[in-house]
Amino acid sequence: MIGFYNYTVILTYMSLASSMLGIYFALGIDGVGPTPRYAIICLMISGLFDMFDGKIARTRKRTDDEKNFGIQIDSLCDLVCFGVLPSVIGYEVGMRHAGDMIILALFPLCAVIRLAYFNVTEESRQKKTSETRKEYEGLPVTSVALILPLLYSFKNEIGVENFSTVYGVFMIIIAIAFITRFKMKKPGMKAMLGFIGIGVLELAWLLYNTRR
């Protein structure tokens, strides 16, 4: 079989599987109505897997082809997880007008531009140094795994009739941030653990608030 098969890509594949499940939840499964809340949870799980896939990959000595494969497969999966899934959720929460369709299309487009740019710069960087990346350029696409669940957890406070508009505005801001040239320090382990803590609080609030 073509491809590279070892433990270094397992979390990346699990992230993709979670996002696909999220798409199914957003659209409805076997006659069950759409459940965007579960889709949001799948988005958070994808973000959790993605947070550690790079650290797992670096525990194994890899060939140049394996490293390049890891870069490409990670970005391809990220496009589905953090580019396509948020747009599907947006459609399900009420973004159905012509203007909304433009936003739903532009969001994954900006995500794929950022991911492709990252791939090009990362391959060039790895040819020059073996050090890990210390900063990102533009907003990482994985940030939506924290931003959008937090927004969705306040759906009741925002109001169902207004939520699709607010969601669309957030998508525009995030999409622009994807392709804006600014530097962001890559989070360390303490920051990542902090993100997990925030995610747990978001999940608890989401489950509580969306059932009221």
Give the tokens for residue 59: 């525990």
**Nearest alpha carbon to residue 188 among 43, 31, 65, 51:** 51
Which residues contact residue 22 at a Cβ distance below 8 angstroms, ignoring those fewer than 6 apart? 38, 39, 40, 41, 42, 43, 46, 85, 88, 89
Report whether pLDDT(212) > 60.
no
pLDDT in tens, 48-75: 999 888 778 778 787 878 888 888 899 9
What are the domain boundaries of the chain?
Answer: 7-209
Angle between helices 85-92 and 36-57 (to 10 degrees): 170
3-state secondary structure of 104: helix
Of 51, 52, 71, the residue nearest 62 (C-alpha): 71
Query: Looking at the domain covering 7-209, what would its CATH class be?
Result: mainly alpha
Return the amino acid letter for 21. L
For 7-62, write each residue's pLDDT tens digit.
Answer: 888 899 999 999 999 999 998 876 666 788 899 999 999 999 998 887 787 787 87
Beta strands in the chain (DSSP E): 135-137, 183-185
Q: CB of 48 within 8 A of CB of 196? A: yes
